[in-house]
Amino acid sequence: MKSTKNAQVTLKEATAISTPKRSKRKAVPSKAKGVERIVGSVRKRNQTKILKAAEAVFAEKGFDGATTAEIAARTGVPKANVHYYFGTKQQLYDRLIENILEVWLDALDVIRPDAEPAQALGEYIERKVRASRDWPESSRVWAIEIIGGGRNVSAFLKGRLRQEVREKGKVLAKWAKDGRMDRVDPAHFMFLLWAMTQTYADFAAQIAAVLAKDRLNDKVFQTAEETIKSIILKGCGIKQEKV
């Protein structure tokens, strides 16, 4: 997981700007160059399309199960182009993995010593549930990676993530010391928050089937958020100083 932030396409940035629902734009109109200057070069658009397709395939099959042929087919480009743009399958996967953690790590920022526990944890839960709703496939790629042993991300797990948990754990300990919440094992508390929020992305198929729905709609995610908030906040003795 080397940093590749510099000027490269990331899925989340790019999809936020471009990717019109699903128009067949094989033959780019003559005005394309003007558009390109706004949404990015043909190169960038192709890269984005490939990344999007790759994310879907890796999320469904895992690294070993995914094939470059399927990624190419879903993108609508020849298989050779995938390799032309991203080199090996492993490099394509690595690139994708790097983008996944941004939202999750950003969300952690709200847990600060000076924050009000109910408000901070509430917002953290909101953000994590929203991430599960908006980028479920990112979550699934990550989940399959970890279930498979996490060999592609072990440096991150033992480094940055461990450090984040230690730091945020101190905040929780302080809140407990100040009598603003119960004393809970801070690491386990975070494992449980992650599990609860991410299950709505990772286990969406199971949840949808049980709820007799085709897919999880906004209402489901809202109930999820409320249920998690209510159980967590009350469960570790946080007074709702304001609702």
The Cα–Cα gap between 30 and 27 comes to 9
For the chain, helix (H) and strand (E) counts, in that order, are 13, 0
Q: Let me know: does 45 contact 28? Beta carbons within 8 Å.
A: no
Categorise residue 99: left if φ over 0, alpha if ψ from -120 to 50, beta otherwise: alpha
Confirm or reject binding of residue 154 to DNA (CB under 7 A): no
Distance of closest approach, residue 19 Cβ to DNA, in angstroms: 17
Confirm or reject binding of residue 217 to DNA (CB under 7 A): no
The residue length of the chain stands at: 243
Confirm or reject binding of residue 148 to DNA (CB under 7 A): no
The Cα–Cα gap between 18 and 44 comes to 10
Handedness of CA 84, 87, 88, 92 (dihedral sign): negative
Give, as ranges, the residues between 6 and 45 that touch DNA (CB under 7 A): 41-43
Part of the chain binding a copy of itself (CB under 8 A), chosen from 11-19, 57-65, 98-106, 122-130? 57-65
Part of the chain binding DNA (CB under 7 A), chosen from 74-82, 113-121, 192-200, 233-241? 74-82
Output 14 or 129, the one with its CB closest to a copy of itself.
Answer: 129
Helix (H/G/I), strand (E/B), else coil: 61: helix
In this structure, what token pair is assigned to residue 157?
A: 């797990």
What is the full DSSP assignment across 146-179?
HHTT-TTSHHHIIIIIHHHHHHHHHHHHHHHHTT
Output 54 or 224, the one with its CB closest to DNA.
Answer: 54
Output 16 or 210, the one with its CB closest to a copy of itself.
Answer: 210
Helix (H/G/I), strand (E/B), else coil: 103: helix
Q: Which of 100, 111, 181, 228 binds a copy of itself (CB under 8 A)?
A: 228
The Cα–Cα gap between 44 and 26 comes to 15
Confirm or reject binding of residue 69 to DNA (CB under 7 A): yes
Output 77 or 232, the one with its CB closest to DNA.
Answer: 77
Q: Which of 144, 171, 172, 181 binds a copy of itself (CB under 8 A)?
A: 144
Part of the chain binding a copy of itself (CB under 8 A), chosen from 2-10, 76-84, 111-119, 210-218? 210-218
**Interface residue list for a copy of itself (CB under 8 A):** 59-66, 140, 143-144, 146-150, 154, 157-158, 161-162, 165, 182, 184-185, 187-189, 191-192, 194-196, 198-200, 202-203, 205-207, 209-212, 223-224, 227-228, 230-237
**Interface residue list for DNA (CB under 7 A):** 41-43, 46, 66-69, 77-81, 83-84, 87-90
